[in-house]
Amino acid sequence: MFGHLSPAEAQQRALAVYEAALGAPYYAAKYAGCAPPLDAAAWRRLPLLTHQELYDNTYPRSTGMLTQPVAGMIVLSTGGTSGVARYTVMTHAEWERFVATQAEAMRLFGIAPTDRIANLFVAGHLWPSFVAAHDVIRYLGAVHLPISANIPPEEMARLCAEFDPTVMISLPTAFIFLADLGRKQGYRFPSLRLIGYVGEQMSEEAQRHVRGVLGDVAIKPLAYSSADAGLMGYQCTQAAFATYHLPTDFQYVEILDPEAHAPAPPGQTGEVIVTNLARQSMPIVRYQMGDLAAWLDAPCPCGDPNPLFRLAGRAGDDFKVGGGFISMRVFDQALEAAGPAVSLNYQVEVADLDNQMEIRLKVEAAEPEQAQALAGQVRDGVCQRAPLIAEGLEKRYIRDFPVEFVPLGSLPRSPITGKVKRLVDQRVIAAQP
């Protein structure tokens, strides 16, 4: 069971982390001239920690963020979803606290020692998910099937069919691919009851796509977490889609209005700012996660006193067309409507060509040539759900919107996580120095 701290208690714990952070050269310089954050208002005057600052000031590039020598530690990497991969280090004791907290989140799903858990995360590149899953399963006392996603997909599916797991854990990309492969080659996993995912939100359309092949299984986020900060949210059995409890004895989380830089009231979407309460060797203080969320005002029917929040996506996850923004959700919806012949693993490329925009949608399919007959339906479906794209095509500031189907597994994956990068906005890349 997760502990609960009142806001005042959590503020005091965050103050202790701040005081520890002053022992790191980077933080000592960053906070020079800042008044001690003895109350909430003073706390909010502390400067935020950005992804770039973390990238520039952590081991091995620098030891400026560390309060102790690099000894008796584990070195981890983010998946690079929000940019280049960043490294983070913690003591083995801090790591044990991280995985024990994650194990508590999974325990809420009813994991028992008799469960066979297929660990389908990518291993290597310092990415923590595969090794963390090993330790989490050890805490849970369940049966570990360390299959990984490093092996050929057909071999991964064959091993899952042979050992018949009751639980599978990985990224949404892996489960969509496994469902596509199962539809094409007839793989089924009769004992499977729970799919647990991390890394990105799995849309309701993607969940239906997976259930269409793998059966009416429970699909749950293992947690809202990151390699930088650890677990920031967990789901109870009553939690709605994209809704999480805050582990108040592990994280101090602020949701800030991006314009006013003040606390967002319940129901208003803001930027997630996190301070981990368990790390002092490399403190994480007021870190900009790059995610959007909103506090929920109503108590949870499960009785857990820890507050609820709802994730609203990543800052910058959508792309701009004309005077508005296009949500990636419209592509999920249009592809689901096209039927089971197409996957929900896709990539949207946006580029400027001679002062006109081009949007190119690439979608995996078991039979790409046959699926190409659905290109017009998918294109029309996106335009119906995103009138800005239809308007752009009509007024010719969008030159074209081709839809291309490609073989299963052929879209580029992150070498660290195996995740498909769904949006490649070449306009942003071209604008970077």
In degrees, rounded to 5, the angle at the alpha carbon of residue 414 between the alpha carbons of residues 106 and 367 is 95
Its sign, for the CA torsion 369, 370, 371, 375, is positive
Pairing verdict, β 224-226 and 342-353: unpaired
Per-residue pLDDT of the chain (433 residues; tens, 9 = 90+): 799 999 999 999 999 999 999 999 999 999 998 999 999 999 999 999 998 899 899 999 999 999 999 999 999 988 654 445 789 999 999 999 999 999 999 999 999 999 999 999 999 989 899 999 999 999 999 999 999 999 988 899 999 999 999 999 999 989 999 999 999 988 889 999 999 998 778 889 999 999 999 999 999 999 999 888 999 999 998 999 889 999 999 999 999 998 788 999 999 999 999 999 999 999 999 999 988 899 999 899 999 999 999 998 766 567 778 767 788 889 999 999 999 999 999 999 998 877 788 999 999 999 999 999 999 999 999 999 999 899 889 988 899 999 999 999 999 988 778 889 888 887 744 333 3
The first and second tokens of residue 344, run together, are: 């929900």
Tokens of 430: 């071209």
| Dihedral sign for Cα atoms in the order 204, 206, 209, 215 | negative
DSSP conformation letters of 345-369: EEEEEEEEETTEEEEEEEEEESSHH
CA gap 126, 135 in Å, rounded: 15
Q: Which domains does the chain have, with CATH numbers?
A: 7-97+223-314 (3.40.50.12780), 109-221 (3.40.50.280), 319-431 (3.30.300.30)
Cβ contact 382:361 at 8 Å: yes
- Enter the pTM of the model: 0.85
